[in-house]
Amino acid sequence: MSSLGTITVCCTPRPSGSWPRRLKGPSKRRSIIATSEVARMSGQQFSMTGFSWSAIAVLLFALLLAGCASGPSADRAATRDAVPRDEPYSTRGNPDDYSVLGKRYTVLASNSGFRERGLASWYGKKFHGRPTSSGEPYDMYKMTAAHKSLRLPTYVRVTNLDNGKSVVVRVNDRGPFVDGRIIDLSYAAAHKIEMTGKGTVPVEIEVVGSEDTRTAARNSSSARNPGRSRNLGPRSMPNARWGENVFVQIGAFRDADNAEEIGARLRRAGLSTVSQSDGGWTRVQVGPLASADEFDSVRERLHELGFQETTMVVNK
């Protein structure tokens, strides 16, 4: 009878987009044992009648354990949100300003009250293990992120406006250096808010910390320049629906006539505008936007017209 040249074990495949598996602990040891057994057997000739079926069953079971024991659900549960804690700022990652690809960026003097909306992207295997701007190695399996101007390290809550899912990450790197992208998430964080299959999604990011820090941030935010506000809209965040409720906001103005003048200028440039009045403020917005690509093109057009400080908003 012919020898057993190859043993094939089939494991139920993970669904597309599931968590990449890293064997460790008992699962890794089972894998080593099973592999050694196959290697030992591969050079031997033996008769099926002389080989115990129970031994085959044990071997197959060991291989199945090695291949399937550390499933996606276990890994997802093990990777929790980053926990905000007081840390000294990085001496390496916080220059007053820096240049990348010929463009200059300014690092914030304080993160207090920071909140922003825009498109998020994510980065993975290509950068895994490489040093970040703070000097730490990038680990795609940790809850981290990159931002162009927040002080390092800091903690932010990132909410996917497509589905309402959120994650708290530790910002320890610089980027993304692409116009229109406000934050780069690690693979783990992107997976948790279900954006790995899309590449980019609209998000809101907000600095988080202790309750005292959040209170100070709210007080600081409310005391800002009374002529123009970075208020991004209602605290309740509806899901983003491209083509319906996603806009680029030019600014919020106390003077309604000033807001109307800016809206008229944008319309003369061929942009569709709306005005939102709320609590004495008039917000001038362009949209609705049909896609992330349109968001990028509209934002670029606004920059050409001299409107540098724009933000994404999602209206109810």
- Do 235 and 191 have their domain in common? no
> Chain-centre distance of CA 264, in angstroms?
36
Residue type, 284: V
Q: Where are the alpha helices (DSSP H) in 109-254?
A: 187-192, 211-222
Q: Does 6 reside within a domain?
A: yes
Q: Does 89 reside within a domain?
A: no
- Do 47 and 116 have their domain in common? no
CA distances from 90 to 95, 97, 147, 174, 212 (A): 10, 14, 14, 12, 22
Q: Is 79 left (phi over 0), alpha (psi -120 to 50) or beta?
A: beta
Confidence (pTM): 0.59
Q: Does 91 reside within a domain?
A: no
Pull the structure tokens for residue 203: 């998000």
CB 311 within 8 Å of CB 248: yes
- Using alpha carbons, select from 239, 228, 204, 226 the residue that is nearest to residue 114: 204
Q: How many CB atoms lie within 10 A of CB 29?
A: 12
Q: Which of 48, 78, 108 is the last residue of a domain?
A: 78
Q: Does 86 reside within a domain?
A: no
Q: Does 138 reside within a domain?
A: yes
> Which regions of the chain does DSSP assign to beta strands (E)?
97-100, 103-106, 115-123, 144-146, 154-160, 166-173, 181-186, 201-207, 228-229, 246-253, 273-278, 281-286, 311-314
- Do 51 and 68 have their domain in common? yes
Q: Which of 193, 222, 251 is the last residue of a domain?
A: 222
**Separation CA 248–CA 182 (nearest Å):** 14
Q: Which of 222, 254, 276 is the last residue of a domain?
A: 222
**Separation CA 12–CA 14 (nearest Å):** 7
- Do 69 and 116 have their domain in common? no
- Do 218 and 308 have their domain in common? no
- Do 34 and 109 have their domain in common? no
Query: Which mean pLDDT values do the consecutive 10-residue runs of the chain (316 residues) have?
Result: 40 41 45 40 43 58 48 52 92 91 90 90 93 94 96 95 92 91 95 91 87 41 36 54 85 87 89 82 88 84 85 80
Q: Does 144 reside within a domain?
A: yes
- Do 294 and 239 have their domain in common? yes
- Per-residue burial over 218-242, b if 16 or more Cβ lie within 10 Å, else e, is eeeeeeeeeeebbbbbeeebeebeb
Residue type, 235: R
- Do 68 and 102 have their domain in common? no
Residues with Cβ within 8 Å of 183's Cβ and at least 6 positions away in sequence, in order, are: 118, 120, 121, 145, 146, 147, 156, 158, 171, 176, 203, 205
Q: Which domain holds residue 240?
A: 228-314
CATH of residue 258's domain is 3.30.70.1070
- Do 177 and 121 have their domain in common? yes
**Separation CA 264–CA 273 (nearest Å):** 8
Q: Does 87 reside within a domain?
A: no
- Do 213 and 107 have their domain in common? yes
- Do 120 and 62 have their domain in common? no
Return the DSSP state at 154.
Answer: E
Give, rounded to a whole angstrom, the gap between the first and last alpha carbons of the chain. Answer: 73
Q: Does 282 reside within a domain?
A: yes
Peptide bond into 288 cis (omega under 30): yes
CATH of residue 142's domain is 2.40.40.10
Residues with Cβ within 8 Å of 263's Cβ and at least 6 positions away in sequence, in order, are: 273, 275, 284
Pull the structure tokens for residue 241: 């629906």
Q: How many domains does the chain have?
A: 3
CA distances from 249 to 16, 223, 262 (A): 36, 21, 12
- Do 113 and 38 have their domain in common? no
